[in-house]
Amino acid sequence: MNTNGRTTSPGRRTLLRGAALGAAAPMLASTAAADTGSAARRTRDAGTVTYRWLGTSGWRIDIQRAKRDEARRQPGTATVLVDPYVTRFDTGLFGGSFDPATRLRTDKPLVRRHAGTPEVICVTHTHWDHLNDVPFLAKATGARVIGTETTYHVLRSFGVDAAQLVVVKGGEVLDFDGYVVEVAGSRHSRNAAYSYFAPGTLNAPPATAPRTVADLPEGDTLAFKVTPDGAPSALFMGASDFDERSFRGLAPDIAMLAVASAATTHRYVPRLLDALERPGVIVPVHWDDFERPLAEPPRKVGTDLDDFVTQVRDLSPASRLVVPDYETRYGADVRSRR
């Protein structure tokens, strides 16, 4: 239970179902996926929460509250975003000619179409493929943004009101109307040279708002666990490394796990699955070419996704594995333990 006595999870036996918005839901069930035929199990109502993958590690979560709030544009519905990078411009990263001086830009109508009107935006770290569209969304919608001190200072430089910004470090459990957001300390991915692009943190707003992708440092990395009332909990990672001690005890029902592009982190998948107690549903993220528009099908980058899928199937055969697609709304079904 959370600190206010709510039940944070109705059970670990969870199915993620896809309701297509324009494409079939690509599901890869493990060989021991949850049995749906037993009448002896109690089935809770589906439809209290839906998930939409925005590519990279981005997600839109729409939560139907138990009580309707007629003052809202969408009565009773809360939208939570994680790393909503929708504009997806070309930096040359996947063509072998990466240009760190690529200018930041936001396709405002496209972002609003995919992101809706968020109540809360969770930012795992401050690199452009996670933060780029957040300044516009925060100012356009008044959404509360949860992130690191670096995220705070960057958004202040873009003119986002300080009253909208929540600085966290990991360990916080934040209670909202109809859902709880738990913050976990995490780590950024490592490349084959044991390094990564644009490390560093900010302890004051930059003199001018960032203009290029190189102007956005990582600023430490977080993970977020979102638990809607009466629905499964879901963990969202933004990079393919983690703080093993911070992750232990999270035990999410659904886990959106970043796929590693290098083998520099020791036993990444086995340690991650062990720390999270082998979630009922595992969804790989951050494996797609995030410089292609969301209107096109996701393009797999390299063979890292295949290796991840193989390891998950071998190490956690009882988990349901869902490889997500763009333009698909996923709903969660929950079945209690035997």
Asked if 285 contacts 189 with a C-beta cutoff of 8 angstroms, the reply is no
**CA–CA separation, 65 and 75 (whole Å):** 9
Percent with pLDDT over 70 in the chain = 81
Asked if 118 contacts 79 with a C-beta cutoff of 8 angstroms, the reply is yes
Secondary structure of 210-233 in HEC code, one letter for each residue:
CCEHHHCCCCCCEEEEEEECCCCC
pLDDT tens digits for range 141-168: 999 999 999 999 999 999 999 999 999 9
Mean predicted confidence (pLDDT) in 112-119: 97
pLDDT tens digits for range 44-91: 333 489 999 999 999 999 998 865 545 544 458 899 999 999 999 999
pLDDT on residue 16: 64
Dihedral in degrees, nearest 10, Cα atoms 237, 28, 115, 213: 50
pLDDT on residue 207: 92
- Radius of gyration of the chain from Cα atoms? 19
pLDDT tens digits for range 247-296: 999 999 999 999 998 888 899 999 999 999 999 999 999 999 999 999 99
Mean pLDDT, the chain, as a whole number? 84
pLDDT on residue 296: 95
pLDDT on residue 53: 97
**CA–CA separation, 306 and 147 (whole Å):** 31
Domain boundaries, the chain: 13-34+43-335
On the question of pLDDT at 208 being above 50, the answer is: yes
pLDDT on residue 3: 35
On the question of pLDDT at 8 being above 50, the answer is: no
Q: Give the SS3 label for residue 163.
A: helix
* Four-way CATH pick for 13-34+43-335: 3.30.465.10, 3.40.50.1970, 2.102.10.10, 3.60.15.10: 3.60.15.10
Element (H, E) at 4: none
Sign (positive/negative) of CA torsion 42, 47, 48, 50? positive
